[in-house]
């Protein structure tokens, strides 16, 4: 009777029989090799032997008796390992690799989820390390940032068995090109009104104003200031006001906002990542901001304005340095929110006082933009498969001039666009209520417009959609750029 079952190779049959009749992993490995030799397994099949041992996690117990160990391998490091985290533009994933003896193991997937695993055996330690190094270099060039094994923040398991003696060696790398991933800021998660309300009521969440500017991480070291954008990429020049950080005489890495328009050259910092060579990212936000407050307050005239959770527009001035804190008192937080919304501010930021600083997507910082609303009419449809949009307009009542104010897609389905286009083709001009970011709409176009078909206003005509809804300042802007005397009367 044959020992080989249907569909099995000889080597696979020997693995099955060895595991069935013998206990103890070390004996299994050595006996299996002996059986392979006695059965006359060919060299190509013997190569598969190593893969099968790896699959059954037997290889760490196996030392082929017919293989001479090179001198350099007799003193090889027991373990070479590295783990990385990548977070940007919605991606939040990890990769880890480890070489133990002749085995290269890896794990990868979405942070916080179930990771996929891989394991491959090599005939020499150098080949295993070479495969590991190649994969690690790829991950580094993609922007992965080194993190620790076993850290619950990243959920990367320890990939080595640790049954051999010796130290774990962290394999260093040189990324291809400048990939300053250590300077990548935490992404602010958009939140709906209900989540903001919950955060305002929670004693361990603080609130501050969301500023209208560009995200900017600044590093003060060796008498220079270097700045990085929201992707962790170095920019040509830091905000002028950030140069003041050099007066502190210490290494510092801070997160903040480069202000624009009336605040050009100004910088508002609101978190501290490193101070005096110490990594503050794992610390709670409450401790990070307190240490930053102590350092900044200890230098006279460093800040243009005392630390505050809000920067009213009348405080903005060129080349100013601000420190934006978070309001911890729930009642004062609600007052702050109402004040920002009343004056058409950019939005609200809520921070978890107990949260660490994590580059990329994080649940510890959320935002809500302060939106404005107006009614506009449909001018024309712009078809496209999953990319169509509708152009909306307003009318100036004094001369009947029509102005295009936005192209909107957000909130509308393909079927909705088809309905609006059909109405326009019939000669109608459907009116829609539109939400937009008033504080960022500095020109004649609405920024981030959004609508949906539940906001279709059948009780309004297109003549009701006047530019006066934008306020006196915008009406004056329209008049300056499009004077009435240059227009034909409608």
* Chain segment 219-270, per-residue pLDDT in tens: 998 899 999 888 778 888 899 999 999 999 999 999 999 987 777 889 999 9
Instruction: Note whether 325 and 390 are same-domain residues.
Output: no
pLDDT band at 61 (very low <50, low <70, confident <90, very high): very low
Instruction: Note whether 348 and 413 are same-domain residues.
Output: no
Residue 387 in this model has a pLDDT that exceeds 50: yes
Backbone angles phi, psi at 172, to 5 degrees: -80, 160
Within the chain, what is the greatest distance between any pair of CA atoms? 105
Least confident range from 82-86, 296-300, 449-453: namely: 296-300
Final residue of a structural domain among 116, 149, 170? 170
Kindly state whether residue 203 falls inside one of the protein's structural domains. yes
Is 375 or 442 the better-scoring residue by pLDDT? 375
SS3 (DSSP) at 55: helix
- For residue 81, give the nearest of 162, 164, 160 by alpha carbon: 160
Mean pLDDT of the residues in the chain? 77
Instruction: Note whether 87 and 161 are same-domain residues.
Output: yes
Number of domains in the chain: 4
SS3 (DSSP) at 56: coil
- The secondary structure of 3-48 as a DSSP string is SSPTT--HHHHHHHHHHHH--SHHHHHHHHHHHHHHTT--HHHHHH
Kindly state whether residue 279 falls inside one of the protein's structural domains. yes
The pLDDT score that the predictor gives to residue 3 is: 56
Kindly state whether residue 4 falls inside one of the protein's structural domains. no
The pLDDT score that the predictor gives to residue 413 is: 86
The CA distance from 205 to 196, in Å, is 10
Instruction: Note whether 386 and 302 are same-domain residues.
Output: no
Kindly state whether residue 80 falls inside one of the protein's structural domains. yes
Residue 431 in this model has a pLDDT that exceeds 90: yes
Kindly state whether residue 2 falls inside one of the protein's structural domains. no
Residue 489 in this model has a pLDDT that exceeds 50: no
The pLDDT score that the predictor gives to residue 465 is: 94
The CA distance from 287 to 293, in Å, is 10
Q: Are 288 and 235 in contact (CB under 8 A)?
A: no
The pLDDT score that the predictor gives to residue 488 is: 44
The CATH number of the domain holding residue 482 is: 2.40.50.140
Q: Return the percentage of the chain with pLDDT > 90, whole number.
A: 21
Instruction: Note whether 210 and 300 are same-domain residues.
Output: yes
Q: Given the structure tokens 């602010």, which residue do they identify?
A: 188
pLDDT band at 35 (very low <50, low <70, confident <90, very high): low
Residue 325 in this model has a pLDDT that exceeds 50: yes
- Tell me the per-residue pLDDT of 260-302, one tens digit each, with 9 for 90 and over: 777 788 999 999 999 998 999 989 999 999 999 999 887 777 8
Instruction: Note whether 190 and 274 are same-domain residues.
Output: yes
134-159 average pLDDT score: 79
The pLDDT score that the predictor gives to residue 226 is: 92
Instruction: Note whether 414 and 287 are same-domain residues.
Output: no
- The secondary structure of 447-488 as a DSSP string is SS-B--GGGB-TT--GGG-BGGGG-HHHHHHHHHHS-GGGS-
pLDDT band at 310 (very low <50, low <70, confident <90, very high): confident
The pLDDT score that the predictor gives to residue 175 is: 33
pLDDT band at 18 (very low <50, low <70, confident <90, very high): low
Q: Are 267 and 243 in contact (CB under 8 A)?
A: no
71-100 average pLDDT score: 72
Instruction: Note whether 402 and 466 are same-domain residues.
Output: yes
The CA distance from 393 to 377, in Å, is 5
Instruction: Note whether 278 and 304 are same-domain residues.
Output: yes
90-105 average pLDDT score: 84
The CATH number of the domain holding residue 345 is: 3.30.470.30
- Tell me the per-residue pLDDT of 229-240, one tens digit each, with 9 for 90 and over: 887 788 888 999
The pLDDT score that the predictor gives to residue 38 is: 53
Kindly state whether residue 33 falls inside one of the protein's structural domains. yes
The pLDDT score that the predictor gives to residue 376 is: 94
The CATH number of the domain holding residue 116 is: 2.20.140.10
Kindly state whether residue 351 falls inside one of the protein's structural domains. yes
- For residue 305, give the nearest of 295, 286, 319 by alpha carbon: 319
Phi-psi group of 215: left, alpha or beta (phi > 0 → left; psi -120 to 50 → alpha; rest → beta):
beta
Instruction: Note whether 315 and 416 are same-domain residues.
Output: no
Instruction: Note whether 253 and 332 are same-domain residues.
Output: yes
Kindly state whether residue 3 falls inside one of the protein's structural domains. no
Task: Give the global pTM.
Answer: 0.51
| DSSP code at position 359 | S
Final residue of a structural domain among 129, 148, 170? 170
Can you give 62-128 as a three-state secondary structure string?
A: CCCCCCCCCHHHHHCCCEEEEEEEEEECCEEEEEEEEEECCEEEEEEEECCCCCEEEEEECCCHHHH
36-53 average pLDDT score: 52
Final residue of a structural domain among 344, 369, 394? 369
87-99 average pLDDT score: 80
Q: Are 207 and 367 in contact (CB under 8 A)?
A: no
Q: Which residue range(s) make up the domain with 158?
A: 71-170
Distance of CA 425 to the CA centre of its chain: 43
DSSP β-ladder status, 347-352 and 145-147: unpaired
The CA distance from 41 to 413, in Å, is 63
pLDDT band at 466 (very low <50, low <70, confident <90, very high): very high
Can you give 212-279 as a three-state secondary structure string?
A: CEEEEEEEEECCEEEEECCCCCECCCCCHHHHHHHHHCCCEEEEEEEECHHHCCCEEEEEEEEECCEE
pLDDT band at 340 (very low <50, low <70, confident <90, very high): confident
Instruction: Note whether 267 and 135 are same-domain residues.
Output: no
């Amino acid at each position: 009777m044959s020992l080989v079952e249907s569909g099995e190779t000889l080597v696979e049959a020997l693995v099955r029989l060895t595991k069935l009749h013998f206990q103890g992993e070390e004996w299994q490995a050595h006996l299996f090799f002996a059986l392979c030799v006695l059965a006359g397994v060919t060299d190509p099949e013997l190569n598969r032997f190593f893969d099968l041992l790896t699959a059954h996690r037997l290889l760490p117990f196996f030392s082929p008796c017919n293989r001479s160990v090179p001198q350099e391998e007799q003193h090889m490091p027991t373990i070479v390992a590295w783990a990385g985290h990548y977070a940007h533009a919605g991606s939040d994933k990890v990769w880890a690799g480890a070489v133990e003896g002749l085995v290269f193991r890896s794990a990868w997937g979405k942070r916080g989820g179930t990771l996929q695993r891989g394991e491959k055996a090599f005939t020499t330690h150098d080949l295993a390390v070479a495969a590991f190094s190649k994969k690690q270099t790829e991950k580094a060039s993609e922007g992965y940032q080194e993190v620790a094994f076993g850290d619950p923040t990243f959920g990367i398991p320890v990939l080595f068995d640790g049954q051999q003696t010796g130290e774990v060696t962290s394999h260093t790398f040189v990324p291809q090109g400048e990939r300053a991933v250590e300077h990548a800021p935490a992404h602010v998660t958009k939140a709906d009104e209900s989540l903001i309300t919950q955060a305002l009521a929670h004693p361990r969440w603080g609130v501050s104003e969301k500023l209208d500017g560009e995200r900017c991480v600044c590093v003060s070291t060796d008498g220079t200031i270097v700045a990085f954008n929201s992707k962790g990429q170095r920019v040509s020049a830091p905000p002028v006001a950030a140069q003041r950080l050099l007066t502190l005489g210490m290494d510092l890495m801070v997160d903040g906002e480069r202000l624009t328009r009336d605040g050009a050259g100004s910088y508002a910092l609101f978190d501290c990542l490193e101070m005096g060579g110490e990594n503050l990212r794992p610390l709670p936000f409450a401790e990070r901001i307190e240490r930053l407050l102590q350092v900044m307050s200890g230098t006279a005239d460093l800040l243009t304005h005392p630390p505050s959770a809000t920067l009213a527009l009348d405080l903005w001035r060129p080349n100013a340095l601000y420190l934006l804190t978070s309001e911890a008192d729930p009642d004062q937080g609600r007052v702050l929110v109402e004040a920002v919304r009343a004056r058409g501010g950019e939005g609200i930021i809520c921070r978890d006082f107990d949260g660490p600083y994590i580059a990329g997507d994080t649940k510890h910082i959320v935002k809500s933009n302060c939106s404005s609303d107006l009614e506009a009419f449909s001018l024309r449809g712009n078809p496209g498969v999953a990319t169509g949009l509708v152009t909306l307009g307003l009318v100036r009542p004094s001369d009947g001039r029509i102005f295009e104010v936005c192209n909107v897609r957000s909130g509308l389905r393909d079927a909705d666009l088809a309905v609006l286009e059909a109405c326009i083709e019939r000669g109608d001009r459907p009116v829609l209520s539109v939400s937009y970011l008033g504080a960022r709409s500095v020109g004649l176009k609405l920024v981030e417009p959004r609508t949906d078909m539940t906001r279709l206003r059948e009780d309004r005509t297109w003549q009701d959609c006047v530019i006066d809804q934008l306020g006196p300042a915008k009406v004056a802007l329209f008049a300056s750029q499009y004077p009435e005397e240059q227009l034909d009367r409608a």
